[in-house]
Amino acid sequence: MDLQSINPFNLEKFKSYPEMSPIEIQRILEESQFAFESWRRTDFVERTELFRKIASLLKSDADDYAFLITQEMGKLLSEAKAEVLKCATVCEYYATHSENFLKDQMVSEKSFVSFQPLGVILGIMPWNFPFWQVLRFATPTLMAGNTVILKHASNVSGSALAIEKLFIEAGFPKNVFRTILVSSQSMESVIINPIVKGISLTGSTEAGKSVASLAGQHLKKCVLELGGSDPYIICEDADLNLAVDICFKTRLLNSGQSCISGKRFIVHKSLYEQFKSLFKQKMQNLETGDPLLPSTTLAPLASLKFRDQLHTQVLQAIDAGAKLVLGGDYPLARGAFYNPTILENISTHNPAYVQEFFGPVACLYTFEKIEEAIEIANGTPFGLGAGILTSNSIVGEKIAKEEIQAGSCFVNSFVRSSPELPFGGMKQSGYGRELSSFGIYEFVNIKTVSIA
């Protein structure tokens, strides 16, 4: 079966890639294992130089990589370029800090903790940030001395191969980073293969459950970054214009196709009508069109399938009593576009109350007491990110730290991942952490060494 690349803007099939056979995949796994035996013995000077070269290539070729991303999954060209440049920052971060993170930690005169690589690590990555998700996982994993096998989403196979080529151009030893082209339905044999020593997956909660189940049966370490329905609490004393601006930007990032974008906006009753009016105005002013053009401010979704799934969710929410403030449909013109949509009056019995909307759909809630807002914020199975908007940063910090059930909570800004901050979720948003020192420790053996 071929893996198809379809441009979400014009729906043209512009590339197909033959799926690899089980024999090919086994050969790649064995080659990666062989490469690990030498790669794990390289010093940090060599690894650092190679990742600085990766960063340099990402910067110099950012326009070409951005065009490929936009062609394959449809995001705005400006966002695609920003994604590529962000990948350079994570390479530079770990090039600078990995040696210090992984140096032996002395416990006593004759006892210390050492960090040793595990072997071949499998990354199962999504289409919504086709370069960032991969480099975010692969950089600390490789800097720790592991080798990496990438199974990317089928619709961004071109990006997967481009990343493999990037490692070759940077001068990495052969087979340290490899891409396999295979459908999700054929992944079970790869996950359970004894060569694979750990799995990092970014994707849906259902995909996470499936992978974790398989990995658990074979006692393999997993890191899971799954779905999110991030709440933003807009307090009575919040700067209204700032709040609207932050909520709008977080909701429309990548056309709303981001796990950590704000999706539920919980607004104090005294500000609700003003917030709704200003937010609606911003949503109405979006311009759909060719994501390659600077004039376009709302790109298509990644496929017609995803658009139709989103539309079904919106219709179900309305049928269950939600009020439609804006949108709720899609243009008939060619392309996987969905019109900016706002829903309100969403009861706890509405399926929308606990769902993730992966697209330009915002859900509005109102509250009078902060305890109500916290209850709504925590009232979903997800726990990835959250935001608090208030002029009292002390109160905002207390709520963020002590009350919100999420892996990240930002006060007076929107949640974003950054190399120096650990990233991940709780509840059905997954477990484990990426980035910072915590990310590099996920796929190492934390070994106690004691000398009598």
Q: Is residue 298 part of a domain?
A: yes
Is 15 within the bounds of a domain? yes
117 lies in the same domain as 179 = yes
Q: CA 138 → CA 24, 145, 356, 443, distances in Å? A: 22, 11, 27, 11
**Same domain, residue pair 82 and 110:** yes
Domain holding 66: CATH number?
3.40.605.10
Give me the mean pLDDT over the 422-436 stretch. 98
Percent of the chain surpassing pLDDT 90: 99
- What DSSP string describes 97-120? HHHHHTS-EEEETTEEEEEEE-SE
Q: How many domains does the chain have?
A: 2
In a domain, 346, yes or no: yes
- Confidence band (pLDDT; 50, 70, 90) for 320? very high
Asked whether residue 374 is assigned to any structural domain, the reply reads: yes
Residues 187 and 334 in one domain: no
Query: Are 248 and 180 part of one and the same domain?
Result: no
Q: Which residues are catalytic?
A: 225, 259
Digit-coded pLDDT (tens) for 20-67:
999 999 999 999 999 999 999 999 999 999 999 999 999 999 999 999
367 lies in the same domain as 443: no
Is residue 135 domain-shared with residue 26, that is, in the same domain?
yes
For the chain, how many residues are written?
452
For residues 277 and 375, state if they share a domain. Answer: yes
In this prediction, residue 116 carries a pLDDT of 98
pLDDT at 340 over 80: yes
Asked, for residue 445, whether it belongs to a domain, the answer is yes
Q: What is the DSSP letter of 20?
A: P
255, 300 in Cβ contact below 8 A? yes
Q: Which residues contact 76 (CB under 8 A, 6 or more apart)?
A: 70, 255, 291, 296, 297, 299
Q: Are strands 323-326 and 341-344 parallel, antiparallel or unpaired?
A: antiparallel
CATH code, 316: 3.40.309.10
Judgement on whether residues 186 and 235 belong to the same structural domain of the protein: no
Q: What is the pLDDT of residues 387-400, one digit of tens each?
A: 999 999 999 999 99
55 and 131 inside one domain: yes
Tell me, yes or no, whether 190 and 160 share the same domain.
yes
Return the H-helix or E-strand segment holding 190.
helix 188-192
- d(C-alpha 318, C-alpha 134), whole Å: 37
Q: In which domain, by residue range, is 143 found?
A: 2-226+427-450
- Please, which pLDDT band fits residue 334 given cuts at 50, 70 and 90? confident
- Identify the pLDDT of residue 450: 98
Shared domain for 49 and 139, answered yes or no, is yes
C-alpha span between 386 and 367 (Å, rounded): 17
Q: What stretches of 126-283 adopt beta strand conformation (E)?
A: 147-152, 177-180, 196-202, 221-225, 230-234, 262-268
Question: Which tokens in the block code for residue 141?
Answer: 């994993």
- What per-residue confidence (pLDDT) applies to 153? 98
* 417, part of any domain: no
Q: Tell me the mean pLDDT in the region 7-27.
A: 97
Q: Who's near 175: CB < 8 A, 6+ residues apart?
A: 28, 31, 32, 34, 35, 147
Give the DSSP letter of residue 434. Answer: B
Does 434 map to a domain? yes
pLDDT of residue 416: 94
201-241 confidence digits (pLDDT tens): 999 999 999 999 999 999 999 999 999 999 999 999 999 99
Q: Look at residue 425 in the predicted model and tell me its pLDDT.
A: 98
Beta strands in 253-322 (DSSP E): 262-268
Q: Parallel, antiparallel, or unpaired: how do β-strands 13-18 and 111-117 relate?
A: unpaired
307 and 204: one domain?
no
Helices (H) and strands (E) in the chain, counts: 14, 18
- 62-73 and 77-101 helices, crossing angle to 10°: 120
Q: What is the pLDDT of residue 135?
A: 98
In a domain, 419, yes or no: no
Beta partners for residue 196, in sequence order: 120
Among candidate residues 439, 40, 24, 3, the one with its CA nearest the CA of residue 190: 24
pLDDT of residue 102: 98
**Burial profile 395-431: b = 16 or more Cβ within 10 angstroms, e = fewer:** ebeebbeebbbbbbbbbbebbbbebeebbbbebbbbb
